[in-house]
């Protein structure tokens, strides 16, 4: 008898009719004599509504109360799912994170799951019950409710799969798998049957919204295979795994692009040891994530130009921090919000020469100018004008035979 963790996202439980439909999916696995555990997100739109309410109450809403507030959405969906399963003749009950408990470490709104008490849960499953557990949340050592970041229900499902030693973890969402690029932006994108953890981690961190990066990281660290499937249509999904069995010899697995980047260039910075640290220290303290970084040294070796990217939402705060930073001097500073990052990802590029040339040549053939470049073993990212993103994705998709 297999133990299966099923996770349903917000769109999957977005209406009463959709909840009735996913209960049929749960029943399908249960009737095959599996032990089934369910993790649910809040109904789509509920968490956003709660966040908006907190903003109307205060422009500096207490972060601990924020977690208490936004965690209520999952409680509603779990109760509705359990209620429907009981209506259909199954033994089921809802479980909030503190009832297990799911223990977390770290700050409010950004905690990580450290342990899950599963003794009572396992007993309930062995007796034929279907537990419905609130995703996205836990409890800290002060007995306060914590949340683990938006889309954190994936992480809940993965960590529960670890602690109950599940045979499968299946993430049900509104798409039928992971695609070579966003099919909404490029119609020739195709579904990937299998993808390595590292590739999925790169795609998630570079803009793919199918999985949260921290969830993929949790799966990799705990060696838990994940299947991504659609709750709307019955099709085979995508397997996210570390196993090298049955993988194709495809060099590039996917292409990601972002829509919320900004480029900052600081010109004529006095070049001395520690200058880059002086620039980035206040950004780090204010939780501003710096991504691509390029530094050019002047011919006289006394000055440098520093270019880096951040999220566009952080642009005003970053500008303010740089301008009031008394530990650096520079000639001028410029900002550009009309930029996007396009990345090719694939473990195959580790052993395949000429990938960089092919990427740059393909972009040049469409007269797409590259502003910034960054690389890793399995990724090459370029910053381009936002107006060229769709064109860049299309030409790279074709160049690496992903159509």
Give the model confidence (pLDDT) of 235-281 as tens digits. 899 999 998 776 667 899 999 998 889 999 999 988 888 888 999 99
Q: Do the domain assignments include residue 97?
A: yes
Mark residue 68 as left, alpha or beta (left: phi above 0; alpha: psi -120 to 50; beta: remaining). alpha
Q: Do the domain assignments include residue 114?
A: yes
Q: Do the domain assignments include residue 358?
A: no
Using the predicted structure, report yes or no on whether residue 52 has a pLDDT greater than 70. yes
- Predicted confidence at residue 116, as pLDDT, reads 97
Using the predicted structure, report yes or no on whether residue 298 has a pLDDT greater than 70. no
Mean pLDDT within 344-353: 92
- Predicted confidence at residue 300, as pLDDT, reads 67
What integer best gives the mean pLDDT of the chain?
Answer: 93
Are the beta carbons of 227 and 238 closer than 8 angstroms? yes
Worst-scoring range by mean pLDDT, 68-82, 155-169, 289-303?
A: 289-303
First to last CA, the chain: 40
Q: Do the domain assignments include residue 123?
A: yes
Q: Do the domain assignments include residue 283?
A: no
Q: Do the domain assignments include residue 130?
A: yes
Note if the bond before 101 is cis, omega within 30 degrees.
yes
Q: Do the domain assignments include residue 147?
A: yes
pLDDT band at 211 (very low <50, low <70, confident <90, very high): confident
- Predicted confidence at residue 204, as pLDDT, reads 85
The percentage of residues in the chain with a pLDDT greater than 90, rounded to a whole number, is: 81
Measured over the CA atoms of residue 327, residue 331, residue 336 and residue 340, the dihedral's sign is: negative
- Predicted confidence at residue 215, as pLDDT, reads 87
- Predicted confidence at residue 207, as pLDDT, reads 66
| pLDDT tens track for 157-200 | 999 999 999 999 999 998 899 999 988 889 999 999 999 999 99
Domain holding 130, by residue range, is 3-174
- Predicted confidence at residue 183, as pLDDT, reads 87
Mean pLDDT within 69-92: 98
Q: Do the domain assignments include residue 272?
A: no
Are the beta carbons of 355 and 340 closer than 8 angstroms? no
Measured over the CA atoms of residue 192, residue 396, residue 243 and residue 245, the dihedral's sign is: positive
Mean pLDDT within 110-125: 96
- Predicted confidence at residue 246, as pLDDT, reads 62
pLDDT band at 149 (very low <50, low <70, confident <90, very high): confident
> Count of domains in the chain?
1
Higher pLDDT: 220 or 250? It is: 220
Give the CATH number for residue 131.
3.40.1160.10
The pTM of the full predicted model, rounded to 2 decimals, is 0.83
Q: Are strands 293-297 and 303-311 parallel, antiparallel or unpaired?
A: antiparallel
- Predicted confidence at residue 299, as pLDDT, reads 65
- Predicted confidence at residue 287, as pLDDT, reads 87
């Amino acid at each position: 008898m297999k133990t299966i963790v099923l996770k349903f996202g917000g769109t999957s439980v977005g209406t009463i009719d959709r909840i009735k439909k996913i209960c049929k999916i749960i029943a399908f696995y249960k009737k095959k004599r599996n032990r089934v555990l369910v993790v649910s997100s809040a109904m789509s739109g509920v968490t956003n509504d709660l966040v908006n309410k907190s903003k109307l109450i205060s422009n500096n809403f207490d972060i601990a109360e924020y977690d208490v507030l936004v965690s209520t959405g999952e409680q509603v969906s779990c109760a509705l799912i359990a209620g429907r399963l009981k209506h259909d003749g199954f033994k089921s009950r809802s479980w909030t994170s503190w009832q297990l408990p799911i223990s977390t470490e770290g700050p409010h709104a950004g905690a990580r799951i450290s342990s899950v008490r599963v003794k009572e849960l396992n007993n309930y499953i062995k007796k034929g019950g279907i537990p419905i557990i609130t995703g996205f949340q836990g409890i800290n050592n002060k007995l306060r409710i914590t949340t683990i970041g938006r889309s954190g229900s994936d992480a809940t499902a993965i960590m529960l799969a670890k602690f109950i030693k599940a045979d499968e973890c299946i993430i049900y969402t509104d798409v039928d798998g992971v695609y070579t690029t966003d099919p909404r932006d490029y119609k020739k994108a195709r579904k990937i049957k299998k993808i390595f953890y590292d590739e999925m981690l790169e795609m998630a961190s570079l803009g793919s919204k199918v999985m949260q990066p921290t969830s993929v990281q949790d799966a990799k660290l705990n060696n838990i295979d994940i299947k991504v499937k659609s709750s709307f249509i019955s099709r085979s999904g995508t397997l996210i795994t570390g196993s090298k069995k049955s993988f194709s010899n495809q060099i590039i697995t996917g292409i990601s692009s972002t829509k919320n980047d900004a480029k900052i260039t600081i010109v004529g910075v006095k070049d001395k040891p520690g200058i880059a640290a002086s620039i980035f220290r206040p950004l780090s303290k204010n939780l501003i994530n710096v991504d691509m970084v390029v530094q050019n040294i002047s011919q006289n070796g006394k000055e440098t130009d520093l270019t880096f990217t951040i999220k566009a939402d952080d642009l005003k705060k970053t500008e303010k921090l740089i301008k009031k930073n008394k530990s650096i001097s520079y000639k001028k500073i410029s900002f550009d919000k009309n930029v996007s990052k396009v990345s090719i990802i694939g473990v195959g590029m580790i052993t395949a020469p000429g990938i960089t040339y092919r990427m740059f040549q393909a972009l040049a053939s469409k007269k797409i100018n590259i502003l910034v470049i960054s690389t890793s073993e399995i990724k090459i990212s370029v910053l381009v004008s936002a107006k060229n993103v769709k064109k860049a994705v299309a030409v790279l998709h074709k160049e690496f035979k992903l159509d």
